[in-house]
Amino acid sequence: MERLLKQAEKIKDKDLRKRVIDLIRDMKLSNKEFQKYKAEAIEKAASVFAVGSSSLGPVERDVLNHTVTLSEFCSDAVKLFKQQYGLSLNEDYLLAGTILHDLMKAFEYNRDSSGDLEPTGIMLDHTMLAVAELYSRDFPEEVIHIVASHFGEGGPTPPRSFEALTLHYLDTLVSLIEYYHYGKLKLEKQFELLKRQKMQEAGEED
């Protein structure tokens, strides 16, 4: 959680920074109907991701590393866009949106006693949940838009600001890199297990 709080500390606007930090520290859903769902600890929160055409299949990826990577990336993008094009993006809005865009995945999956990811059965996805929660906590419209549109043009709220476009495309890039990186590690682990199993079987036969 400290790594995420460190990113949130970069938000210059005092009120927005406090709202973001309060939500990270106290992951509770305002709607009483939803309070039966408990958020997984942010350090253990993860989701399952698949790329349609890839034979790597579903791959698990964690929320914390993804969010911290993206926050750093977004801050660099703000600097570059200003330096190269004279374009001024609101870094506070972008950072807040980035930190919060996937946080509600902690309500979509919990870890069981063996550490495996279990869907909680919650009937709203993390984007809908985040938008509802940020709306009820009076977050600025610009931040809610960044979160709502992070799925891109194909989603119900297409990105309509430079901040929203930046998060959507960097999120897509980071997600794909993570998918192939974690997918490769998953395959290597499976291969190692299989090799060990075969060696054991061969040893038993001798």
Site stretch for Fe ion (CB under 5 A), options 48-56, 102-110, 157-165, 182-190: 102-110
Q: Whole-number minimum distance, CB 118 to Fe ion, in Å?
A: 21
Q: Which is nearer to Fe ion, 68 or 187 (CB)?
A: 68
Q: Whole-number minimum distance, CB 43 to Fe ion, in Å?
A: 17
User: What is the per-residue binding string for Fe ion in 142-171, x denoting contact by CB under 5 A?
Assistant: -----------------------------x
- Rounded to whole angstroms, how far apart are CA atoms 136 and 15? 16
Site stretch for Fe ion (CB under 5 A), options 10-18, 89-97, 99-107, 196-204: 99-107
Q: Whole-number minimum distance, CB 61 to Fe ion, in Å?
A: 9
Q: Which is nearer to Fe ion, 48 or 187 (CB)?
A: 48
The site that binds Fe ion (CB under 5 A) totals a number of residues, namely 2
Q: What are phi and psi of 117, to 5 degrees?
A: -80, 130
Q: Which is nearer to Fe ion, 133 or 171 (CB)?
A: 171
Joined together, the tokens standing for residue 21 give 């930090």
109, 87, 104, 113: which is closest to 166 by C-alpha?
A: 87
The residue from 40, 91, 92, 102 that contacts Fe ion (CB under 5 A) is 102
Q: Whole-number minimum distance, CB 11 to Fe ion, in Å?
A: 18
Q: Whole-number minimum distance, CB 6 to Fe ion, in Å?
A: 18
- CB neighbours of 72 closer than 8 A, spacing ≥ 6? 7
Burial of 171 (0-12, 13-18, 19+ CB in 10 A): buried
59, 62, 68: which is closest to 179 by C-alpha?
A: 59
- Rounded to whole angstroms, how far apart are CA atoms 17 and 12? 7
Is residue 178 near Fe ion by the rule CB under 5 A?
Answer: no
- Rounded to whole angstroms, how far apart are CA atoms 147 and 32? 23
Joined together, the tokens standing for residue 203 give 């040893």
Q: Could you say which residues in the range 120-139 bind Fe ion, by CB under 5 A?
A: none
- Rounded to whole angstroms, how far apart are CA atoms 124 and 135? 15
Please give the residue ranges that form the binding site for Fe ion (CB under 5 A). Answer: 102, 171
